[in-house]
Amino acid sequence: MEVKLTGLDKALAVLHPEVYKKTLNRTVNNIGDKARTQMVKGVRSQYNIKAAELKKFMKFRKSRFSTMEYVIDVRSSRFNAMRFAPKRLKQKGKMSVLIKKGQGRKTFKAATFTAKNGALLQRKGNTQEIIGVKTLSVPQMFNKKTLKETDEMVSKEFGKKFQDNFNFYIGNI
């Protein structure tokens, strides 16, 4: 996502080039942090996952004077269903998990916990083969709606935050 300032950035860059660089760097970092928080809140409003667990898979690089960009990288493999609040049901061999908020719990037949690594396992068909129950990964949780809301927030707040930071640095001269 890119944000462009028309006219203002050229005038400020000519008048105070060092102040302009500091202002831009600080603004990009402030807005990047807000965008990261907005994205986590958007995902948590839809999925049953804790914020700390979600942030483990989000790597970010803050803006520096050389790069002037804030990068958020989200990577993970598919989760085991154990991360989504599993419950043992009264019927023998049945378990349920709550993955998406507002859609109810998903029930699995012939499922069990493992005590050693904390995974939810299920038998494959009528065989004795046991497989882990996989759900979705963190990048799959970031849907278009969440990213669009974040993009709108960045576009709306960047100019105001840039102006505030510029006034802060001009006051220090």
Domain hosting 90: range is 85-132
Note if the pTM is more than 0.85.
Answer: no
| Nearby residues of 40 by Cβ (< 8 Å), 6 or more positions away | 51, 54, 55, 58
Residue 117 counted as domain residue: yes
What six digits make up the tokens of 141?
A: 């949780």
Residue 155 counted as domain residue: yes
Please tell me the distance from the alpha carbon of residue 73 to that of residue 35, in angstroms, as a whole number.
13
Amino acid at 111: A
**Residues 107 and 89: beta-carbon distance below 8 Å:** yes
**Domain co-membership, 106 together with 160:** no
Strands 71-74 and 58-61: antiparallel
**Domain co-membership, 90 together with 34:** no
**Domain co-membership, 13 together with 74:** yes
**Domain co-membership, 92 together with 42:** no
**Domain co-membership, 55 together with 97:** no
**Domain co-membership, 37 together with 94:** no
Per-residue pLDDT of the chain (173 residues), as tens digits, is: 556 555 555 566 656 778 888 899 999 999 999 999 999 999 999 999 999 989 999 999 999 988 889 999 999 988 888 888 888 888 887 888 888 988 888 888 877 777 566 778 877 878 888 888 888 899 999 989 999 999 999 999 998 999 898 888 887 65
**Domain co-membership, 20 together with 68:** yes
| Nearby residues of 16 by Cβ (< 8 Å), 6 or more positions away | 169, 170, 173
**Residues 58 and 36: beta-carbon distance below 8 Å:** yes
**Domain co-membership, 70 together with 143:** yes
Residue 39 counted as domain residue: yes
**Domain co-membership, 22 together with 96:** no
**Domain co-membership, 73 together with 147:** yes
**Domain co-membership, 119 together with 96:** yes
Rg (CA), the chain: 23
Q: What is the count of structural domains for the chain?
A: 2
Residue 2 counted as domain residue: no
